[in-house]
Chains A and B, each alone.
Chain A
């Protein structure tokens, strides 16, 4: 039995623990006279280029990384535990806060899981809106990846341009959902409200703007020698490595396997859209850059097609089952967003039964037949899955999110060891981890 992982000592104030893996540095050095030059460097958890509160413990010799360990969990907020104490509908509000750059994806995969448990089929228009919102969200998430990744490698114009473009995406998300982030827009049974009237023309304008912005990335970065040199041949990981480590999404496609669940296991009618799955074969940071930029273009193609269909598909955006559907559509009033005035008028003035029904559904929630399901969608970072278990009650018994940020970060050591310390930054940036998702 070796020394305990977290040694502790008694003080007058109580017991003090030496935590988080720092306590064994002596054993790291012990009995290794050949590597006197070895340094252990702590990067993070507050280093600007570690994407939030990620901590890297690197062993370096000169500029070469000989070992890399990751410490996560600084942003653990117990979202999965909290879900078990709220109704199924309130779950949307929690999961949206996991991966805060891809909130619509979290909500959609959670709602798809609950709908599968219920056996509910969402209306066509709600499906279209979900696809629309997810693709807009994918683009906004990729912009943040480009902006933060660019900043970390010193390409500050990529940062300013990326955040500018992302702001335009958030404008659209705000127009539709009322919020820039943490939307809670996708609800079990459909979506919280229909698109506002001016949404479709605004999104058309936005598509033109995004076309220009994506083109700008090509002009700014694709031939830029520093950018190319920092990315090419860095952070390599092949298809076998990806599968072993569970890497999916752009990481896997950049290694050459065209695995995109929108094509391979279509959901929400993705099989009916005309789009390509961009791949590259080098498996390095450069390939990931190429794949993600191409993905933004493909998302714009999907969005154009959704808009056409939305114009021809009127109808409800919430399942036609009053025992599941939220009793009212939301609308914007003088004091912000809330239940529509017509609904409030009905339950307060004319229909006692509607009031009781509203009250029961909102406070008690609906019951979900017992069982377990797993659903998955293609998130911006890879397979985003939801494992939901119901005991037949009004609250989730257990919900687990398969977060691609969490899984993908395991590849950091593989990509970094043997490389330069500066390349660790490029590798982590290409993984595009979001610690809110990783730690949940």
Chain B
């Protein structure tokens, strides 16, 4: 039996090794892949999101062109355009988010009337060179043209401010509160940015990657027990 401290140290080692390496650690003291079944012949792909080049395909060129026409400083606003698995993602500078969203909603050739979803992702394992790890992700739907696009804004932990789109899309109200609650992204201009899922006096933002899952050992008859899910052996 390892003591909780040892386990924590072990866990920290595993966590520290995660982002770039394929090295495994855990039970059995295995080094290398430790795989004898050929199962790991499925190599893990490097985790990078490369900007796409024109032509983007599908309706994506049309959307980006229409946006460029309606929003002249788009070049300045766009960090990169990613087309992956038939979906278009526009990575934006946060200063431009509000104006771009308003253009996307109002321009006759764009007409993204519905903000389907706002959520966050903590890319701790793939932090940007400038320290950006908290991403606020918006899924927009155009009912007029039956199109969907994704907007993404990345901020740092030290300066987690993103302009709120609630004045443009009132449906963002609770969704931004949820993202604040779980990720700690601060939406400037939101009418009442309070916690929504966690209790009001909760500390921390539970969906962040450096926030532990928590849990207790599961005990079985005869004194056997298995550790909680976040302390079990991980396969990466």
Residue ranges of A at the interface with B (Cβ–Cβ < 8 Å): 5-6, 8, 17, 19-21, 72-73, 76, 78, 80-82, 84-86, 116-117, 119, 243-246, 248, 257, 259, 264-265, 323, 353, 356-357, 360-361, 363-367, 369-374, 376, 383, 385, 387, 389, 391-395, 397-398, 400, 402, 406-407, 409-410, 439-440
A371-B36 CB under 8 A given contacts A245-B170, A389-B121, A398-B121: no
Residues of B in contact with A (beta carbons under 8 Å apart): 35-37, 39, 42, 44-49, 84-87, 89, 113-117, 119-122, 125-126, 137, 139, 143, 146, 148, 150, 169-171, 173-175, 178, 182, 194-201, 206-207, 213, 229-230, 234-236
Distance of A214 from chain B, by nearest CB (Å): 29
User: B39 to A400, Cβ gap below 8 A?
Assistant: no
With both beta carbons as reference points, the residue of chain B lying nearest to A403 in the complex is identified as: B117
Closest to A359 in B: B37
> A385 vs B115: C-alpha distance in the bound complex, in angstroms?
12
> What 10 A-B pairs are tightest by C-beta distance, nearest first?
A246-B171, A400-B119, A402-B117, A76-B197, A17-B201, A73-B197, A370-B47, A364-B235, A85-B229, A360-B39
Q: Nearest Cβ distance between residue B208 and chain A, in whole angstroms?
A: 10
- With beta carbons under 8 angstroms apart, the residue of A19, A81, A376 that contacts B201 is A19
Is A72 touching B196 in the complex (CB atoms < 8 A)? yes
- B196 to A243, Cβ gap below 8 A? no
Contact at A19–B175, with CB atoms within 8 Å?
A: no
Report chain A residues within 8 Å CB of B49. Answer: 371
For A244, the closest partner residue in chain B by CB is B170
Is B125 a contact of A394 with CB atoms below 8 Å?
no
Apart from A17-B201, A400-B120, what are 11 other A-B pairs with CB-CB below 8 Å? A17-B200, A82-B213, A243-B143, A265-B146, A367-B44, A376-B116, A391-B47, A394-B236, A398-B122, A402-B116, A406-B175
Of all chain A residues, which has the CB nearest B35?
Answer: A360
B201 contacts across to A, CB distance below 8 A:
6, 8, 17, 19
Instruction: Give every chain B residue within 8 A of A119 (Cβ-Cβ).
Output: 85
The docked-state distance in angstroms from the alpha carbon of A407 to that of B171 is: 7
Q: Are B87 and A391 in contact (CB under 8 A)?
A: no
* Least distance between A120 CB and chain B CB atoms (Å): 12
Which residues of B lie under 8 Å from residue A402 when comparing CB positions?
116-117, 119, 139
Is there an interface contact between A383 and B116, defined as CB atoms closer than 8 Å?
Answer: yes
Which residues of the other chain, A, contact B173 by a CB distance below 8 angstroms? 410
Give the residues in chain A near B117, CB-CB below 8 Å: 374, 385, 387, 400, 402
Chain A neighbourhood of B113, CB < 8 A: 243
Cβ contacts A to B, 20 pairs, < 8 Å: A6-B200, A17-B200, A72-B196, A72-B197, A73-B197, A73-B199, A80-B207, A82-B213, A82-B229, A85-B230, A117-B85, A243-B113, A243-B143, A246-B171, A353-B37, A361-B39, A363-B235, A370-B48, A383-B116, A393-B236
Residue of B nearest to A356 (CB): B37
Q: Which chain A residues lie closer than 8 Å to B39 at the CB level? A: 323, 357, 360-361, 364
Tell me the minimal C-beta distance from B61 to chain A in angstroms. Answer: 20
Distance between B144 CB and nearest chain A CB, rounded to angstroms: 11
Residues of B within 8 Å of A370, CB to CB, are: 45-48
Give the complex CA separation of A246 and B207 in angstroms.
24
Instruction: Point out the residues of chain A lying under 8 angstroms from B126, CB to CB.
Output: 391
Instruction: Find out whether the CB atom of A407 lies under 8 angstroms from the CB atom of B114.
Output: no
A86-B229, A393-B44, A398-B122 known; A374-B143 Cβ under 8 A: no
Shortest Cβ distance from A406 into B: residue? B174
| Complex-state Cα separation, A370 to B115, whole angstroms | 25
Least Cβ–Cβ distance between A49 and chain B, in angstroms: 22
Our pick among B119, B182, B196 for the contact of A387 (Cβ within 8 Å) is B119
Which residue of A is nearest B207, CB measured? A81
**Also in contact, A407 and B125, with CB within 8 A (given A365-B235, A439-B197):** no
Report the nearest A residue to B199, measured CB to CB.
Answer: A19
Contacts A73-B197, A357-B37, A387-B139 known; A244 to B169 CB distance under 8 Å? yes
Closest beta carbon of chain A to B192's beta carbon, Å = 9
Q: Which residues from chain A contact B148 at a C-beta distance below 8 Å?
A: 374
Closest to A71 in B: B196
* Separation of A6 and B202 alpha carbons in the complex (Å): 11
The chain B residue sitting closest to A73, CB to CB, is B197
- Bound-complex Cα distance A257 to B143 (A): 10
Q: Is A81 a contact of B198 with CB atoms below 8 Å?
A: no
Inter-chain contact B85/A243, CB cutoff 8 Å: no
